[in-house]
Structure 1
Amino acid sequence: MRCLKLQLIKYSRKAHERGLTAAFGGNLSVRTGSLVLIKSTGSVMDDMTAGQIASITLDGKVLSPVRPSSEYRLHLEVYKKRPEVRAVVHLHPPYAIAASSILKKELPIITPEAEIYLRRIPVIPFKPAGSVELAKSVAEGLSEVDAVLMERHGVVTVGRTLREAFYKAELVEESSKLWYLTRNSL
């Protein structure tokens, strides 16, 4: 358990350092069996500590003294829809948010790396943050792909490990940036 918490801290800080989220935004989680470890509500990713990681069950029962992120429903719905997934990353990268505000269906794939690791990046229509509707829409959007953009809200990626899910999120931001920089010439 300690190892998973250290991974959450490492990749939370890395997300902030790389400009993939700011202030209170974003949340990462890992699943082990029927237990989910997730960033607590109100914590900031660049100074995460083990005490700011909430523990919840797959049915949403809080087992820790700290409350989970307001997006915990999104994480739980994804884990229920995709039992093989062991990590969910939700970040607010600037180019991904810009792309999701302009595009309505899907982010065009430009690089071979994105084509290999992401295949497609659908855009999920806007739903209020933290809502059941958003959670269900994202889980459905991730049923056959490992990354989605949420309109005006950011990116959600999944993986078998937190490392894998994190680097997929970074790849979505790179893809969004490349699309944004070349959109008038495509």
Structure 2
Amino acid sequence: MRTAKAQLVKYSRKAHERGLTAAFGGNLSIRVGDLVFIKATGSVMDEMTPEQVAVVALDGRQISGVKPSSEYRLHLAVYRERPDVKAIAHLHPPYSIVASALLTGELPILTPEAEIYLGKIPIAPFRPAGTEELAEVVAEKIREADAVLMERHGIVTVGRSLREAFYKAELVEESAKLWYLSRK
């Protein structure tokens, strides 16, 4: 429990430092058995503390006294869809958001590294943030991919650890940036 919270604090701060999210945006989670540790609602990632980590059960019951991020439905839907996933990064990197607004289908893969670690990056159609509808479209796309762009919203990446999910998020943003720069 303490390790999961420490990991969430570490990678939340790192995501903000690397420009993968700003202000109140984004959230990370770790699954431990049937429990999900996730950023609390209203928390800012570059100021995260262990006390700002909420705990919810896979069935959606709030376990901790701290209220989870409004995107907890998205995290739970992904964990239910992909039992192999142990961590999720949901971030708002700028190039990925721009790409999701300009493209349909998939983000083109331009580097061998992205091909190896991501394979493909589908784009989920726009749905309002924090809704069950958004959770459903992301869970559908994540069935066959470890990274999804959400139209005009951000990204979701998954991994067997938070470290893996985080670095996949960096790779998605690099892919979006390279695609954007190659358009000129």
Query: Normalising to structure 1: TM-score of the pair?
Result: 0.98
Who is 2:142 aligned against? 142
Who is 2:125 aligned against? 125
Task: Please state whether the residue corresponding to 1:8 is helix, strand or coil.
Answer: helix
Instruction: Report the CA distance between 1:183 and its aligned residue.
Output: 1.9
Who is 1:93 aligned against? 93
| Cα deviation digits, residues 19-56 of structure 1 (max 9, x gap) | 00000000000000000000000000001001100000
**Sequence identity (%):** 71
Instruction: Report the CA distance between 1:155 and its aligned residue.
Output: 0.4
* Residue correspondences, number: 184
Instruction: Report the CA distance between 1:6 and its aligned residue.
Output: 0.5
Q: Matched residues in 1 for 2:183 and 2:110: separation? A: 11
Instruction: Report the CA distance between 1:169 and its aligned residue.
Output: 0.4
Instruction: Report the CA distance between 1:83 and its aligned residue.
Output: 0.4
RMSD: 0.5
Who is 1:156 aligned against? 156
Q: Matched residues in 1 for 2:84 and 2:124: separation? A: 22
Q: Matched residues in 2 for 1:65 and 1:51: separation? A: 10
Mapping 1:31-70, distance limit 5 Å: 31-70=31-70
User: 2:150 is matched by which residue type in structure 1?
Assistant: M
Instruction: Report the CA distance between 1:161 and its aligned residue.
Output: 0.2
Q: Matched residues in 2 for 1:113 and 1:99: separation? A: 19
Mapping 1:68-83, distance limit 5 Å: 68-83=68-83
Task: Please state whether the residue corresponding to 1:38 is helix, strand or coil.
Answer: strand
Instruction: Report the CA distance between 1:65 and its aligned residue.
Output: 1.0
Task: Please state whether the residue corresponding to 1:109 is helix, strand or coil.
Answer: coil
Who is 2:29 aligned against? 29
Who is 1:114 aligned against? 114
Runs of 4+ aligned structure 1 residues displaced above 3 Å come to: none
Q: Can you give the 5+ residue segments of structure 2 that lack an aligned partner in the other structure? A: none
Q: Matched residues in 2 for 1:70 and 1:128: separation? A: 11
Query: Normalising to structure 2: TM-score of the pair?
Result: 0.99
Q: Can you give the 5+ residue segments of structure 1 that lack an aligned partner in the other structure? A: none
